Structure 1
């Protein structure tokens, strides 16, 4: 009965105070919807690979380099292992139930006929144990036998549809790179986006033996990945301890230690650097901030409204209402408003989910029937927010005497505490808004800084084509001369790797160092013209030259970072790699892989003139002639390599598609999105707060105008307290924003810019003025007679 009365009273107030109700519901809706989006994103990121039934028992076997003075990508962990690692573990340690070896296939072309051709870089080779570890749902074929034989392939549903349309793909033939026929032995459903191993096609590992002489039981190549399924109840720490020193008996690799990385850490933090976890924590903090902002708005508006309900509360007290009953009434009102706002928030979140998914470059979904736990948790948060928002106003009103409530002087008696609370809440809102504004501006500047930073080479005007050259041998110097006949082509090079496209690695010792201590480097076999095509700069020594016939297989060029790592002041003439390679030049550092990590040591070795196997051809062209250059290259390379598929691509596109750069852009867009929401919340809250402040002081404003106060003076009077609160907010937001920005990891970080903080403060002041101007200007310019007639 009491609850029914409360609801009736609340509904009447909702209709009677339309602006107040709309402001409250709008503010909470914005806050809840933003919180829901962030919570869905964070949950998505922490749920990687949980689609696999054996999720908790799957571990990736990784290599740790214990005797390296410099490590690629700034860490000493490699996710790649040697293929024979699996055989060394299988059957020797009872903790391990199954071991699976995979190898990434890289970019390849898949053909069914001339009309059905696709280029795909997400394919892998996997052994017959693969489907025993990982959960794949087959819609055609038998996953138990799909990868048993050489030259067999399982296709994802999407790839099968692209190649075969609506026809069945099972037992059909797919041509790999125009050369190798693969029998389709299975079709599986596409895996969820948040799956670290999400291959678009899987070729049997046994196919690598006839193709590249790589066998699962004897390959020393360190470009495979090994996954282990531990037995039920097995301790991964004990299992790791047993295999850690597995390579000790091999002299060349005795310093490579093995470790087990849980599948839960493969995506988020495989090397314990915590870089992306810091970003996720920042997003979680932003979600809490926005929810806090919405709650603070609600508290401020509830407090302002409560101060105008003195007579109502006095009458209720006079007819026998108890304090608990009054508190319950206030709390029920705030909780109901909070729940209504949550309903709208779910609708808004679902509406904006596709937009938000595009911003963060993820496939985030809210499935009502499956996400009931998430929905219940959010409802609980909404109830807590309502209780939290209504507690102080309820206590504030219910604790006053009837006489004070009737006279209306309760506010002045409690003014100190209530005013201080309002100051704290508003200052907190300003600080949160300023924190996000400054952080977003700083991160935007960081993106600009990275995009414009000198890479050490000129990426604009650089084209490339990856080609797996078949049996027909081609001489590179002849190919180069043929292409340079065209004015659109300025220079041509050949290499195994190319910045932002492909990057190899290896370890070397050096002259003057301990022979047992090695440094991980980026190795690359290159043609004579590689440095000139990149437009990189030699800082010492000479380039490779045909005038020095001994360069092939004996000479190398290192970068500045390698020289520093080796401790050489004059590197020319020094030797590396067990004295096999002599340094003839030093190239200025250029970025090889990404802008997030430091530049790695790099070693260039002269490639043979004979072209056979996997190579990357790079072409320098004037930017305005690139379209014609692509046409020329496509035509000529088709003639030179008639049986080898390829595509002409741009290095700038590869730069923009690099994973860490994409994450930077995603974080930046997300910060911008939620900063806008936060500012919108601040505007809504300030508008509501000022509206009630003006209403409460209407008579005061009229008296001041009659006594000669100008409209400008009254405008200043109504806003001046907020200027001081902004000052307090600056003292909170500036150091916290600086610390947050400083904690963001990057080897190429723009220092915090003072002008960004000044601009952020100016933007906050403008936002406040925009939020308060309408009501304050209207009140300041109002006829004083109307103001005095207010009551």
Structure 2
């Protein structure tokens, strides 16, 4: 019996080639899109799972209970004090291992003064690090790799960059061209979806001679502490024990310890669900596209069923039972879905490199290792096939033989006609929803990219530098640079917009001493605001005439004044009354394009340069290349032993995390909207082909009676105009609700013209999809039409 059904199905597919190809293409596109989105979501939800003890690893972070107006939507800091690890180890046996790490930041490593590699992903880690996290070593002993000061472990990629080989145990690497480090190990690169993915790891004990920090340091606040809980220990119980770890210290009693599972470190460590909303949106799009391909199949199955009445009637006459007819229909639809799934998996593997470049990920797919994923898709394909075929199969099997022999009986079935309309309307709604949402997000990207940052971004260069050796007077260096007409201004600061940010907490005059605001601290030169070309709204700028400004005065931004509740901030004090406010600067964006502008406190820098600084240069755009060469030469002379790199400001702006997310989301939406449009075209083409075939005689008679080709064209398309109108009533509120729900402090309001444009584009898609069949039918010789059967 199964072989008979198989033969009949193959024969039917061959007989109706247009129907078969249309269904296969539509379902293949649907399964491909669904598989790509599913792989993407699985990838994002599986960050850090390469570590064997993933489910027992937690980051110890701090929740500031006395912080009001928390910035970036949270009052949680991922950073901690090194001594936290020792305090937990000594007091709480529930914690099996506790490790301390410190991000190395922007550094240079090299084999000599000439061969330097700029890297921003290095860390310092203690000897417990490899007991908590899983690394695969290809050289050296993991157990003792970080035991001694000035030891470094390299990733395979960095080892290749530095030495052109990975067998480098015992070799030396220069840190910042000054400190020799001994290579004690080489490890395989971690997967891209790892929140801790260092390119090199220096022993934590090296920080003692380099920066005066060790595991017992109390006031160093820029480390991170990770812990491995004992098996069977409940995280909530362990967190309750360390929650008030620093309660005995007056200045630290408001910092509560919190355990953040490794699974949330990337997605939402501060309980901000912004990115999870994006993932849910992608999941919804995947489901929509699969539903749309299924609806295409149902529509075409209904259309095809209406042309198979006589076939079913003959089978009933010769004795076929109802269950046999149902089984035949279902075997056909399930078989087509399974074939489409196989083609979809092939297309997924083919398109995955392109998709990875769109979403900036390294998603992998293998039929062997991902057999569970493939099996789930297979079950889904069977379900789609059953759902697509069950209605026409049941309806045809239950119909009377006399009705079936009359042909085209589905035209008279009001419920079937309504079902087709509902499916087409929903398809239109999905297409319109995606078109409007994608266009809106594209406009949002354009809006953010061109938004006024509050300072002049054109003509800016910058360089991060760790100055050592003899102290250099900044203003003497600045005067030398300004002698060149290509250079307009030079400033220095500890932090710079979109390059790096300093964080801290402060109280303010007139406020509760126990309440603090999280804000951005920065130390800047006199002319910092002049270089940025931003204005002061109250008070004065730092000036050489006020020698007492250094270390005692500060300028705050408007956001800080608003947080403190001051109408006239000049003369008031912040930070335990240590800093007097002398000016208020206009808000300018310096952190990211997603969150609102945060309160900022800017302090005057000393004249002499020592330690880590960011130098900013405003240059004439017509002489930018020459200016870069001048700056490079001057910095080399001033800091001969300190490596650096002069960069364009746009590179920092475009690399900002939220801006990259915006671009990734926009490209992903565009990618799947194109696939959705392809589905709409395929579905409409197939549906109209069957409508034309079913109404061939009617068209011939109408032409004989004087109908024009334009009239025939309108006749075949007019029902879609009403369905498109109904789709607008569904799609417009949905797209508006989703777009307005997407979180962002710098959001372009929904633009009405985008909705109009989306409707026009969808109407054009419908007309293009149907034009070939409808024009062909409208211009066909009526004699040929009457001879159709």
TM-score range, shorter chain: over 0.9
Task: Give a deviation string over 1:734-766, Cα, whole Å, max 9, x none.
Answer: 111111111111111111111111111111111
Structure 1 residue 516 displacement after superposition: 1.3
Structure 1 residue 397 displacement after superposition: 1.1
Structure 1 residue 166 displacement after superposition: 2.5
Distance 2:352 2:661 in 1: 19
Q: Which region of structure 1 is more displaced relative to structure 2, 431-440 or 396-405?
A: 396-405
Task: Give a deviation string over 1:165-188, Cα, whole Å, max 9, x none.
Answer: 136211100000100000000000
Distance 2:769 2:557 in 1: 56
Q: Which residue is 1:219 aligned to? A: 218
Structure 1 residue 614 displacement after superposition: 0.7
Q: Which residue is 1:397 aligned to? A: 396
Q: Which residue is 2:747 aligned to? A: 749
Q: Tell me if structure 1 keeps the 8 A contact 2:410–2:417.
A: no
Distance 2:166 2:39 in 1: 37
Q: Which residue is 1:250 aligned to? A: 249
Distance 1:409 1:668 in 2: 45
Q: Which residue is 1:537 aligned to? A: 535
Q: Which residue is 1:663 aligned to? A: 661
Task: Give a deviation string over 1:79-98, Cα, whole Å, max 9, x none.
Answer: 11111111111121121111
Q: Which region of structure 1 is more displaced relative to structure 2, 533-542 or 497-506?
A: 533-542
Q: Tell me if structure 2 keeps the 8 A contact 1:97–1:230.
A: yes
Structure 1 residue 630 displacement after superposition: 0.8
* Counterpart selection for 1:582 from 571, 580, 583: 580
Distance 1:293 1:395 in 2: 22
Q: Which residue is 1:89 aligned to? A: 88
Q: Which residue is 2:723 aligned to? A: 725
Q: Which residue is 1:11 aligned to? A: 10
Distance 1:143 1:743 in 2: 48
* Counterpart selection for 2:439 from 438, 441, 462: 441
Q: Tell me if structure 1 keeps the 8 A contact 2:108–2:175.
A: yes
* Counterpart selection for 1:499 from 493, 497, 500: 497
Structure 1 residue 296 displacement after superposition: 0.3
Structure 1 residue 589 displacement after superposition: 0.4
The SS at the match of 1:113 is coil
Distance 1:553 1:161 in 2: 45
Q: Which residue is 2:409 aligned to? A: 410
The SS at the match of 2:325 is helix
Distance 1:411 1:457 in 2: 67
Structure 1 residue 515 displacement after superposition: 1.2
Structure 1 residue 114 displacement after superposition: 4.7
Q: Which residue is 2:608 aligned to? A: 610
Distance 1:69 1:435 in 2: 39
Structure 1 residue 410 displacement after superposition: 2.9
Structure 1 residue 117 displacement after superposition: 2.1
* Counterpart selection for 2:519 from 518, 521, 525: 521
| Within-5 A mapping of 1:167-186 | 168-186=167-185
The SS at the match of 1:525 is strand
Distance 2:95 2:192 in 1: 28
Distance 1:408 1:769 in 2: 29
Structure 1 residue 523 displacement after superposition: 0.4
Q: Which residue is 1:370 aligned to? A: 369
The SS at the match of 1:646 is coil
| Within-5 A mapping of 1:65-104 | 65-104=64-103
Q: Which residue is 1:425 aligned to? A: 423
Distance 1:782 1:584 in 2: 84
TM-score under structure 2 length normalisation: 0.99
Q: What RMSD, in angstroms, separates the aligned Cα atoms of the two structures?
A: 0.9
Q: Tell me if structure 2 keeps the 8 A contact 1:500–1:592.
A: yes
The SS at the match of 1:257 is strand
| Within-5 A mapping of 1:549-698 | 549-698=547-696
Distance 1:601 1:625 in 2: 36
Structure 1 residue 409 displacement after superposition: 5.6
Distance 2:80 2:623 in 1: 43
Q: Which residue is 2:311 aligned to? A: 312
Change in Cα spacing, 1:682 to 1:167, as seen in structure 2 (3 Å) is closer
Q: Which residue is 2:237 aligned to? A: 238
Q: Residue 349 in 1 paired to residue 348 in 2?
A: yes
Distance 2:552 2:747 in 1: 38
The SS at the match of 2:184 is strand
Structure 1 residue 773 displacement after superposition: 0.9
Structure 1 residue 368 displacement after superposition: 2.1
The SS at the match of 2:352 is helix
Q: Which residue is 1:261 aligned to? A: 260
Q: Tell me if structure 2 keeps the 8 A contact 1:95–1:235.
A: no
Distance 1:474 1:410 in 2: 92
Q: Which runs of 4+ in 1 moved over 4 A?
A: none
Distance 2:225 2:710 in 1: 73
Q: Tell me if structure 2 keeps the 8 A contact 1:116–1:162.
A: no
Q: Tell me if structure 2 keeps the 8 A contact 1:400–1:410.
A: no
Q: Which residue is 1:290 aligned to? A: 289
Q: Residue 147 in 1 paired to residue 171 in 2?
A: no
Distance 2:422 2:432 in 1: 15
Change in Cα spacing, 1:151 to 1:313, as seen in structure 2 (3 Å) is same
Q: Which residue is 2:333 aligned to? A: 334
Q: Which region of structure 1 is more displaced relative to structure 2, 306-315 or 623-632?
A: 623-632
Q: Residue 229 in 1 paired to residue 224 in 2?
A: no
Distance 1:782 1:654 in 2: 62
Structure 1 residue 482 displacement after superposition: 1.0
Change in Cα spacing, 1:318 to 1:89, as seen in structure 2 (3 Å) is same
The SS at the match of 2:699 is helix
Q: Which residue is 2:467 aligned to? A: 469
| Within-5 A mapping of 1:689-708 | 689-708=687-706
Change in Cα spacing, 1:409 to 1:295, as seen in structure 2 (3 Å) is closer
Q: Which residue is 2:483 aligned to? A: 485
Task: Give a deviation string over 1:674-707, Cα, whole Å, max 9, x none.
Answer: 0010011000000000000000000001111111
Task: Give a deviation string over 1:500-551, Cα, whole Å, max 9, x none.
Answer: 0010011111111111111111000111011111111111111100011111
Distance 1:565 1:607 in 2: 25
Structure 1 residue 115 displacement after superposition: 5.2
Task: Give a deviation string over 1:288-340, Cα, whole Å, max 9, x none.
Answer: 00000100000000110110011110111111101110010000001111111
Q: Which residue is 2:708 aligned to? A: 710
Distance 1:734 1:327 in 2: 39
Q: Which residue is 2:193 aligned to? A: 194
Q: Which region of structure 1 is more displaced relative to structure 2, 298-307 or 245-254?
A: 245-254
Q: Which residue is 1:58 aligned to? A: 57
